[in-house]
Amino acid sequence: MKDGMSALAASLGSDDKLVDVLNELRASQEDTRDLHARQLLLLEQLVTKMSSTD
């Protein structure tokens, strides 16, 4: 019984680590999405500015 409990505790520990990693991945993806949105906005502004100077 004790071995089973230890195995269960060990598996929960790795699940907790997996949850932490997945949360970090999600946060990173959100940051990347925000960065891409800002880059797109800046690119659109640059194109607009360059087009208006012609």
Percent of the chain with pLDDT over 90: 57
DSSP state of 53: T
**Mean pLDDT of all residues in the chain?**
86
What pTM does this model have?
0.62
Percent of the chain with pLDDT over 70: 78
The CA dihedral of 37, 23, 21, 5, to the nearest 10 degrees, is -170
Q: Per-residue pLDDT for 48 more than 80?
A: yes
Degrees, nearest 5: CA angle 44-37-26: 165
Predicted pLDDT at 1: 58
Query: If you average pLDDT over residues 27-38, what whole number do you get?
Result: 97
Tell me the backbone φ, ψ of residue 53, rounded to 5 degrees. -90, -5
Q: Where are the domains of the chain?
A: 23-54
